[in-house]
Amino acid sequence: MAMKVFIAGIIQGSLVEPRIHRQDWRRRVRGAIRRHHPDAEVYCHYEAHPCSIEYELPEILATLADGNRRAAATDVLVAYLPEASMGTAVEMYLASQAGAVVVTITPMRANWVVRAYSDRILPDLEAFEEFLADGGLGRLLAQKRRRGEQA
């Protein structure tokens, strides 16, 4: 069975006006996963909804519900948080509660949500790529699955 990976991370963050942060980090995360886990099924909710900043409330609610459902059904959630993101926090919580591995890329090591719901906290994209290259994700997933079987 292929490992399911959900790419989560900052989109609008704390921006007040209706615009989004740069999203080029998503290609780098996806590329690193594909290089080191070529059989992984990678899903990115932003890539599925690139114009979501323009959505009206009914479509916003449906899109949030779909993303939350997918986050709760994944094996691994990779969260990119250069700063806080309320939507990513919800996705991290749901994935963690469902037993997924949560890998968070962030400088916010002291943040309670990051600490509570991350299985691994990495400071930047370079550290994430090294973690994958070293087999860290595979080991972390295997450890979590073993713990789940023992529970």
Mean pLDDT of 139-150: 86
Q: CA 94, CA 92: separation in Å to the nearest integer?
A: 6
Q: If you search the block for the tokens 């962030």, which residue do you land on?
A: 106
Domain 4-150 has CATH 3.50.50.60: no
pLDDT per position as a tens digit, 3-58:
999 999 999 999 899 899 999 999 999 999 999 999 999 999 999 999 999 999 99
Say what the pLDDT of residue 149 is: 75
Mean pLDDT of 59-68: 97
pLDDT per position as a tens digit, 65-113:
999 999 999 999 999 999 999 999 999 999 999 999 999 999 999 999 9
- Choose the weakest-confidence range: 7-11, 59-63, 135-139, 146-150: 146-150
**Amino acid in position 87:** G
* CA-to-CA separations, 35 to 31, 40, 81, 105, 132, in angstroms, rounded: 6, 10, 22, 18, 9
Say what the pLDDT of residue 146 is: 86
Mean pLDDT of 110-132: 98
Q: Domain ranges in the chain?
A: 4-150
Q: If you search the block for the tokens 């713990």, which residue do you land on?
A: 147
